[in-house]
Amino acid sequence: MGIERATFYDPERIAILPMGFCFPGSSSTGDQPPRPECAPAWRERLLAQMPRIELTLVLGAHAHRYHFPNDRDPVTRRVADWRRYAPAMIPLPHPSPRNNRWLKQNPWFAADLLPALQTRINQILGDHRHDG
């Protein structure tokens, strides 16, 4: 994302919200999906306490299904069409070492989306440098 570690971990500036607060376990292909009762039980209430959200990075298929319930596109197509959701949301693949093949097959991600994402993040952080 191109931001300093201290900024990334500053809870006044950046929030990291999982789709579930418990580890659902592993499978042969990676982590199990989040438990279906988790996000409906807490997510909207927690988000309501953060009224100044300017950008949501939607990471991976499970989060995509939650945030884009009527969109049946596969993750790659949705990520490629990220401009449709920007500037408030940007769908991304799940960050994982297993995605190295996906990154090689989709060079537009690093060439187009990541620089635009970094610009948007710098714009937001720059707009709030003097907020207290």
Domains along the chain with CATH numbers? 5-20+34-127 (3.40.470.10)
Residue 125 pLDDT: 92
| Identity of the residue numbered 84 | R
Instruction: State pLDDT tens for residues 35-82.
Output: 889 888 989 999 999 999 999 999 999 999 999 999 999 999 999 999
pLDDT band at 26 (very low <50, low <70, confident <90, very high): confident
Task: Assess contact for 64 and 94: CB atoms under 8 A.
Answer: no
Phi and psi torsions of 125, nearest 5° = -65, -35
Task: Give residue 130's pLDDT.
Answer: 45
Question: What pLDDT is attached to residue 129?
Answer: 53
